Amino acid sequence: TTATVARAQPLFHSPGKPGYVTPVWVAGDGDSEVRLAWFRHTGTLVGLALVHNNMFPMTFARHVLKFLLGRDVGWHDLAFFDADMYEMLRKAVVESRSSPAKFAQWNLTFEVSQPDWLGGAGLELVPNGAAIAVTSNNIHEYVALYAKYLMVESVRPALDALREGLLDVVSPAALDGLSAEDLRLILNGCAEIDVSLLKRLTVFKNETSKDEFYVKQVQEWFWSIVTAMSEEEKHELVSFWTSSPSLPATEAGLLPRPTVVVRPASEGMAGMLPTAHTCSAQLSIPVYPSIEIMKQKLLTALSTKTFGFV
């Protein structure tokens, strides 16, 4: 039954750009009220993340962010969601103007085939759309309606519920002036890890019996290793250290402040990996005998995401 299919569906998926999610909505779902409640709860969690300056664990597609902000979603937003579909529609617009005879061979009407993730059935964008040919005079209306359907109308109940949940916590006035990019930065942090920011805010603590020389040495080695990491490794480090894959957009959002605890050298000599307490953003690193061993142990900890002797 439709309800059974709906219950098996996730709330969100990434049909376009990997990692950027949009709601999943099953038309005629017998459990629609339950799913709407889940979407509203999700919107509430987004609002709480904004209020408490916390990172949100999902990255919404650009059109979802614009809908949450109450902004109009235009057909150019499709480029950030489904680049292939956007390029096809863009070519149709260009060819309708530059080569009308060639464009006529497309045989487009205002009836379209939905993508597989929406069921694949035919859909009329306007009443009697199958009988209305797409021409250079109405091509812009066609692409606008098609893009709006893909991004908004096909999942409007879910998007409405998300926004209702958000507005249960945050007033519309608080969202004024924010762009989709602003909201993404606040919710998901920066795409690149700012090592200088991390370095400025990190506190080193000495839990060895050695003097501060050893702590400074660990500190120098550590930042040398981090600076040379690939962007992917930096994200893995921050995730291992704080449980968040990115740094927040502002210093105020980086709470608790990251800490590196320098542990006794005997642990390092024995081969103990660095460990982390994500709830307090604390990374514990033994005093290793060389920077090469520290790098190997740190990267091993990031790749295995386990602790102990390796």
Task: Give catalytic residue positions.
Answer: 279
**Residue 248: both structure tokens together:** 């927040």
The length of the chain, given as a count of residues? 310
Q: What is the amino acid identity at position 274?
A: P
Render the burial of 247-268: b for 16+ CB within 10 Å, e for the rest.
Answer: bbbeeebbeeebbbbbbbbebb
Instruction: Provide the pairing of β-strand 259-263 with 282-286.
Output: parallel
DSSP string covering 244-304, please?
A: -SS--SSGGG--SPPEEEEEPHHHHHHTBPPEEEGGGTEEEEE--SSHHHHHHHHHHHHHH
Burial of 103 (0-12, 13-18, 19+ CB in 10 A): buried
Q: Are 202 and 258 in contact (CB under 8 A)?
A: yes
Angle, alpha carbons 197-305-293 (nearest 5°): 75
Q: Are 110 and 126 in contact (CB under 8 A)?
A: yes
Q: Are 175 and 70 in contact (CB under 8 A)?
A: yes
Q: What is the CA radius of gyration of the chain?
A: 25
How far, rounded to the nearest angstrom, does the alpha carbon of residue 256 sit from its chain's CA centroid?
Answer: 22
